[in-house]
Amino acid sequence: MQRPLLVVFFLFTLGLSLFAEDLEVRSRSAILLDASTGTVLFEKNADEPIPPASLTKLVTMHIAFQDISLGKVHLDDVVPIPRAAWAINQSWGSSLMFLGPGQRVTLRELLLGLAVCSGNDAAVAIALYLAPSIQAFADRMNQEVQRLGLTHTHFVEPAGISEHNVTTAREFAAFCRFYITEHPEALFSFHSVREFAYPKAENVAEAYKNN
């Protein structure tokens, strides 16, 4: 089990009494914000560079939502699953939605695979659907975080596997506030979903059903 490295808290409830000394945070880096105002209520090593791990997938989802809003892609698109996105080809210990050859998967399902399963395979499939290579998709991620003023955040891949992905608690909290404002519907359509069954019969091509 990986030790927690980064914790980002948001406080939505107004009028709640909170004291920093009441918090015991074992993560190396943490920050607590009032999501409405951005006021920092607690921080611990909030500017220390640290790998964002699977929080990286929020940036991947943001890029996908951007392309959807521009009409470049659609939630019901059937996304090709290249060999690089097959579950069997992901790093050992990866969280997965278990993509495989011959599957018919929509972009909506892949986004659920990210939000619910934290699927590294889903992240790769989305990246290669929206860009010609993982590097090209990472370049898009970096262009976007730079546009948002996150100068200490950098990505080399879309799933959060690499230690070379880097951010800080403060910067990623800023990104999360932006994400919530930019994609409020995602909180209900994707991030509030508790269960996700995959693959279903309709996801598997006939040629693979009896194998």
3-state SS assignment for residue 10: strand
Q: Which listed residue (17, 27, 44, 57) is catalytic?
A: 57
Going by the DSSP 8-state scheme, the letter that residue 124 receives in this structure is: H
Residue of 169, 135, 141 whose CA lies nearest to 64:
141
At 152, the amino acid letter reads H
Q: Compute φ and ψ for 34, nearest 5 degrees.
A: -80, 115
Residue recorded with tokens 């209520």: 41
Would you give the end-to-end CA distance of the chain in angstroms? 33
Pairing type for strands 29-34 and 6-11 reads parallel
Does the annotation mark 54 as catalytic?
yes
Does the annotation mark 57 as catalytic?
yes
Q: Are 162 and 177 in contact (CB under 8 A)?
A: no
Q: Are 96 and 124 in contact (CB under 8 A)?
A: no
- Cα separation, 85 vs 82, in Å, equals 6
Does the annotation mark 72 as catalytic?
no
Q: Which listed residue (27, 54, 94, 189) is catalytic?
A: 54
- Cα separation, 87 vs 35, in Å, equals 36
- Residues forming the active site: 54, 57, 118
